Amino acid sequence: MLLSLAIMTVFVPGIVGLASNTSWAVMWLAMPLLLLNCKIEMTLIHVLGLSFLSYAALSLLWSPHGFLEFMQLLALASVFVWGYTLKDLRSVTIGLSLGLAVSSVIAILQYFKVDLPILTYSKVSGVFVNPNIYAEVSGIILILILINKLWWYIPVTVPGLLVSSRAVIVGLTVVCLAWIWNKSKLITVSIIGSLIFAASFINFATGSIYERLNMWNDMSSGFNVFGHGIGSFVYLFPDYNKHLDTSVHLAEYAHNDLLQLIFELGIGAIPLILIVALLLKVNNEYRNALIFFIVISFFGFPLHMPATGFVVALVAAQLVKFSVGHRIAFNSRRSVLLNRMETA
C-alpha cells in the first residue's frame, strides 16, 4: 500500500523537477528490496517477458540513448514479479486511491484557480501535469476500485474523469461493453450500433487526431525488422517526420505504445504482444483493467508513465496468477477423477 501511495504522490512538480518522473526512482529503489523475499515461479508469461526484456537489453547496442527506458521496463518487470506474489490488489488499490485523492484535491483547487505555491501550471491535472495522464490514471484506478468493491474510494476518481479525456471515455466505454458482452451479446451489439450511429454525427476531424494520424504514418516509414533500439523514438523520429512541426512540438512519445514499441524494437515487440494476447484470454475481472489499458495505449503513452505502468504490471501479474491457479485447480480435480477411475 505504501509503495502504491508513494508512486502516486512523490512526483510533485515544483518540489521535484519536471525533467524526470521521481516515481520511477521510487520503483528503482523499492523493487530490489521487495524482490529479496519473493520466490519467483516461472510461467510462460515470465519466459516471454524475459525474452522481451533480453531483446530490449540487446537493442541498447544500436539505440542512441535507451538505457533510461530500459531501466523503466526493468522496473515494470520487477513490479510484475512482485505482483505475482501478492494475494490480491486490495491494499495496493487503497494506496493508489489515497494517492489519487491528493491529486484530486489539487485538481479541484486548480479548477477554481486557487494560487498554489508549488504547482505553478494552470491545467486541471493534479500532480500529473498533463490532464490526459491524470484522467488515464483515474480511469484505471476506478476499474481497480470496482473490481475490489472498494466503493468508498470511487469519489477520488471523479475529478480526473471529469477532465474529459477522449481516450479515457473510449476506454471506459469499451470496458462497459466487454462487461455487458458477458451478460448479453444482443444488447452489446445494439449498443455498439447506437454508438456508431451517434458517432456519425460527431466531427472527429480535430487537429490533434490529424496530427497523430500523420505522426503514425510518418513513423511507419521508419519500421524495420530489428527496430531502432529501445528509447530511440524521441531521437530518431525527426528523421522520418514529414508533417509535425518539430520546432514547436517535441515528439517525445508516439501517442501509441504499440507503434512506438514496433518502431523501437521491431520483432522484439512480439513477446510483449503475445503476453497481452494470452492475458486477454484469461477470464477474470482484472481483464477489464487490461482492456482499458490497451485502449488508452492506442492514443497515449501509459506504458511510459510510472503510475499506469505500475498498475498494468500488477494487473498482468494477477491475470497470470489466476490462470495458473485455475490450471492447478483443474489439474488437481482431474487427478482426483483419475484416482477414482483407477480405484473403480
Partner 1 sequence: MLSIAADQYYLIGWKQLDLKKIEVAANLFPLNRTIALGPAQYYLVKNFPSEEALNHLNKGLNYDPNAVDLLQAKVTYSLMLGRQKDATEAYTRLIKIAPKIAEMAK
Binding site for partner 1 (CB under 8 A): 16-20, 22, 24-25, 28-29, 64-65, 67-68, 71, 234-239, 241-248, 250
Q: How far apart are CA 138 and CA 178, in angstroms?
A: 19
**In this structure, which amino acid lies at residue 286?**
Y
User: Nearest approach, Cβ of 115 to partner 1 (angstroms)?
Assistant: 18
The minimum distance between CB 273 and partner 1, in angstroms, equals 27
- Closer CB to partner 1, 34 or 273, in the complex: 34
| End-to-end CA separation in angstroms for the chain | 51
For the bound state, the minimum distance from the C-beta of residue 254 to partner 1, rounded and expressed in Å, comes to: 15
CB of 28 to partner 1, least distance (A): 8
Q: Which is nearer to partner 1, 67 or 226 (CB)?
A: 67
Distance, in Å, from the CA atom of 107 to the CA atom of 115, rounded to the nearest integer, reads: 12
Using CA atoms, how far apart are residues 181 and 118, in angstroms rounded to an integer? Answer: 46
C-alpha gyration radius of the chain = 21
Which residue, 70 or 153, is less far from partner 1 as judged by CB? Answer: 70
Q: Partners of 13 in the beta sheet? A: 16
Q: How far is the CB of 1 from partner 1 (least distance, A)?
A: 22
- The least CB distance from residue 311 to partner 1, in Å, is 21
- All cell numbers assigned to 287: 481483464
Cβ-based nearer residue to partner 1, 145 or 244: 244
User: What are the residue ranges of helices labelled H in the chain?
Assistant: 2-9, 22-35, 44-58, 67-84, 90-111, 131-147, 158-161, 166-183, 185-199, 207-220, 233-240, 257-265, 270-280, 286-297, 306-343
Please say which residue, 120 or 203, places its beta carbon nearer to partner 1.
Answer: 120
Q: Yes or no: say if 109 and 122 are a contact pair by the CB < 8 Å rule.
A: no
Which is closer to partner 1, CB of 16 or CB of 280? Answer: 16
